[in-house]
Structure 1
Amino acid sequence: MMDWQQLERDVSVKLFDAFTVAGLRVDAIEPGRAMICSFTVPPRLTDASKRMHGGALASLVDLVGTAVFFAGGSPVTGVSLEITISYLNAARANEELEIESRILSIGEKTGCVTVEIRNKATGEVIAHGRHTKYLAIVSSKL
């Protein structure tokens, strides 16, 4: 018997990954401290004026901010407690972005990172984010 709910979850995750972050490249990892990625803005993530959607930028802050916890030595990526993003400039279709994530702290139960998204050619800051996560391993009673 097919588990339709599991199939729907699997397809949703694969669709989200393919739609939002296909093409994300890891350029450098500084163990215990930071990670730098590159991403070329695909036209599918832009609006009518060819500017990247804020939600797509938020996804980059979330995903790259989460991944850097592994570089910091955390065995888990945890659950988001807070994400704040300052949108400073527009990224446009086909521009290459550099996403730098730095660990601010990793404690027993929580961790916090910053994520800066820049235009790779000009160095102009597109967005700056801060991501706090609950890192303790929890078991569900569900």
Structure 2
Amino acid sequence: MEFETIKNYLEKPGKKDEPTEIHKLPLRFFDAFIVHGLRIDQIEHGRVLCSFNVPQRLLNTANTLHGGAIASLVDLVGSAVVFTVGAPSTGVSVEINVSYLDAALPDVLRVMWLLLCYPDIERKRLYGCRFEGRD
């Protein structure tokens, strides 16, 4: 593929200072866009169990759940787990490591859970956070 084609794929047309449809989106719309449809099945100290039907809006070109959407779900649901242990805020994710073992297909129920093993509320850190998804 030619470099110019790749550049055009990533850089959308239009002048940088011109308002576009993207500029009309509300602030922080991304979180709601990702978690819309997520159901909390169980919540307790250090643990959130949730389920999610993979929606069409989060599919990649291979028609499976986009890897970036998966990483965002890990980050957003992980933040919710931090609150279950009494932390006043979540802080900022410094590192997220995701291993993709299988594709998540559209309209298939995925069961996900996060288990917070070692919270350090004073330093706002998670240790041993585990996220799994299955059909």
Secondary structure at the residue paired with 1:57?
A: helix
| TM-score, scaled relative to structure 2 | 0.73
Instruction: State the partner residue of 1:106.
Output: 119
**Count of matched residue positions in the alignment of Structure 1 and Structure 2:** 111
The answer as to 2:29 corresponding to 1:29 is: no
Q: Do 1:99 and 1:115's aligned partners in 2 also have CA atoms closer than 8 Å?
A: no
1:19 paired with 2:52, answer no
Pairwise CA RMSD: 2.0
* Normalised TM-score (structure 1): 0.70
Q: Give the whole-Å Cα distance in 2 for the aligned partners of 1:118 and 1:90.
A: 10
Larger Rg: 2
| Residue 90 (structure 1) aligned with residue 103 (structure 2) | yes
Q: Which residue of 2 aligns with 1:76?
A: 89
C-alpha distance in structure 1 between counterparts of 2:60 and 2:25, whole Å: 27
Deviation at 1:9, TM superposition (A): 9.4
Instruction: Answer 1 or 2: which has greater strand percent.
Output: 1
* Pair 1:52-2:85 in alignment: no
Q: Structure 2 vs 1, CA of residues 20 and 72 (structure 1 numbering), >3 Å: closer, same or farther?
A: same
